[in-house]
Structure 1
């Protein structure tokens, strides 16, 4: 049963938890060990608050929100703050993070069930709650598969709703009736608006939580990679960031070169001796020429790969001691002289005289 006279221990633990939560919101380093310890301590305090709330039956399913004392309304947000802190818990890998997100989901659900029992999940959040209960793991504020325009409009609507709630809270807190705690109606309205903001933030957190869980599910697990690597090889692999790493990866694998049946298991190079291999260490990385330019041209000429032309062919030198050759050259010269005498220059130009 709700009462404004809750035990002092409950109030003290709640205020301590709230103080730690506010300190974490302004923490400069969310990755330090001290931050993780502070989050764990705050979560433990909120857990203690929830135990005390249950022990004293501060909230009852048989009453409406109008039956809850104004001083008890802030305790409605205990589950929400605990869920936020659990979701903010630092993690060291996908598996621990998955467990953390599931704990956060359970805490958010307890908060939603409590405030829904008091009729505090008003439109449009009642529709979101119905969709969440139908498919908790597939829930998104904007349904998956919506058009890009719908996604954009959903984000704009979310931003505007959050801005309207924060502006309303700021406006109410600026009221003198709240500052002096003299106007119970204003104080009550502030607490109920804080609950509405918590409902709004819960659905945003569940949307984000589901997206993160999907990413974790799609990420490769550590079992997908071979585990039999020595620490020495792993250290060398991590430190090796040079451009020649792909080449070295294929030439320095280690292990047997051939299988038992003689099949090559990795590329290798045959050398004459270890001395040849050692001398090759200091050779240039590129291939050196295996012949000179003159040797190359001679080989191409022999293969007929070089066309030699554009100049008069060399005149054949007749051996003076070869009388047959001398006679052949003499007859050839006489025949050429007779041909020129019988066919004077220009005699063949009978159709196109100049």
Structure 2
């Protein structure tokens, strides 16, 4: 504890100078020291140094007034306490969560399987810790531009996008709407951050309040605007072309960056391409999320309507009502057809039997007078045919002439 007592006597300016020196070399730990120092600058230096030991694992050193060098002799008690309280570093959290996300996206197992869901939950826990550490360290400030952020720190801007992607992989039908809203919030935070740093030019999606207002306004319109649909289609085509170009450039830089052979400029370009790639993914995911949220809400509303309809069915049936106008009109004009029978069935049968028009096993009945009249007519015709010998002779001559003269005989029209 002597080293800590000596450190308490140094003063605030020495620690601040150390932080600025580390920042000159672009070290992440320097920003971590500065962020923690900003929160604890009004406390004693001893607790501040303990906090640094727990959060960032700095090199052990103490202050020697004669040589102006910081040294801390190793202490077994302090080492054991540090091993128990040490937290995973930010790069480790980021790389592990990124690896889990890649494994989930390329996995052949179903998304609802236990293995995939364990990876999803583990990745979300790691990303939550990384996001908390980023907020504690103030790694990204609104007072900085994109050029002022270190090349190795650009990748930490993708933490909200990774959170949204893993949240979309969660499988729980009862909480699907909550998962969609959380994923949309993560993607929107990522896009807002990228738009602030001017990573790429894109239109930020509308928030929930604006989208609800626009839905109520557009509900009054019968048909969607064709101009808006054409602009959306053109935007999708442009995003697709940019996505293909970004993926091609990433594949060219990936091997050099992962092997550590790339310079700072190529590393910066590599991470900026990743940021632009995730901008396109976030825009597409938010669009699909909005559509799915709309479907789920309509499904819930239909369920509520069905329950209310069933409650209406439990009520006693309403009494039928009759329009007096129709009743009065029916009394005057009638029903449009004879409502009362003019004769009974027996009367109808007797009438048809009298006229002899009833069928008798498929053969109509005839009266004796009708039979006698037809027979007389046939006899008369036969007698007339026998008496007319002249007509019979002429008919025979005509038949003989047709036998000796073929059809068309003599009709040559002076052709020989």
TM-score (norm 2): 0.50
Corresponding residue for 2:152? 71
* Alignment match of 2:116 (pick from 9, 25, 35): 35
Structure 2 unpaired stretches of 5+: 1-22, 33-55, 57-87, 216-223, 311-315, 318-352, 393-416
1:91 and 1:225 map into 2 onto residues whose CA distance is 24
2:249 and 2:358 map into 1 onto residues whose CA distance is 91
Contact 1:112 1:199 in 2 (8 A): yes
Corresponding residue for 1:159? 240
1:19 and 2:19 equivalent?
Answer: no
1:129 and 2:181 equivalent?
Answer: no
2:236 and 2:122 map into 1 onto residues whose CA distance is 34
Q: Give the number of the structure whose residues are more often helix, by fraction.
A: 2
Deviation at 1:3, TM superposition (A): 4.7
Please provide the CA RMSD for this pair: 4.5
Corresponding residue for 1:192? 272
Contact 2:253 2:270 in 1 (8 A): yes
Deviation at 1:151, TM superposition (A): 5.8
**Structure 1 residues 47 and 170, CA gap change in structure 2 (3 angstroms):** same
1:97 and 1:61 map into 2 onto residues whose CA distance is 34
1:61 and 2:136 equivalent?
Answer: no
Contact 1:83 1:108 in 2 (8 A): yes
Q: Secondary structure at the match of 2:124?
A: helix
Structure 1 residues 1-354: aligned runs within 5 Å = 3-5=27-29, 7=56, 9-28=89-108, 29-93=110-174, 96-120=175-199, 122-123=200-201, 125=202, 128-129=203-204, 135-136=210-211, 145-146=225-226, 153-174=234-255, 176=256, 179-219=259-299, 221-225=302-306, 306=359, 345-346=383-384
**Structure 1 residues 349 and 104, CA gap change in structure 2 (3 angstroms):** farther
Deviation at 1:347, TM superposition (A): 9.2
Deviations 1:317-340 (A, max 9, x none): xxxxxxxxxxxxxxx9xxx99xx9
1:218 and 1:105 map into 2 onto residues whose CA distance is 19
Q: Secondary structure at the match of 2:198?
A: coil
Deviations 1:146-189 (A, max 9, x none): 36766654443332121111111112225x47633441110111
**Structure 1 residues 134 and 170, CA gap change in structure 2 (3 angstroms):** farther
Which structure is richer in relative contact order (CA contacts within 8 A, separation 6 or more)?
Answer: 1
Q: Secondary structure at the match of 2:142?
A: coil
Structure 1 unpaired stretches of 5+: 230-258, 261-301, 316-331
Deviation at 1:211, TM superposition (A): 1.2
Deviations 1:226-285 (A, max 9, x none): 59x9xxxxxxxxxxxxxxxxxxxxxxxxxxxxx99xxxxxxxxxxxxxxxxxxxxxxxxx
Corresponding pairs, count: 255
Deviations 1:288-343 (A, max 9, x none): xxxxxxxxxxxxxx9x775767799799xxxxxxxxxxxxxxxx9xxx99xx99x9
Contact 1:3 1:68 in 2 (8 A): no
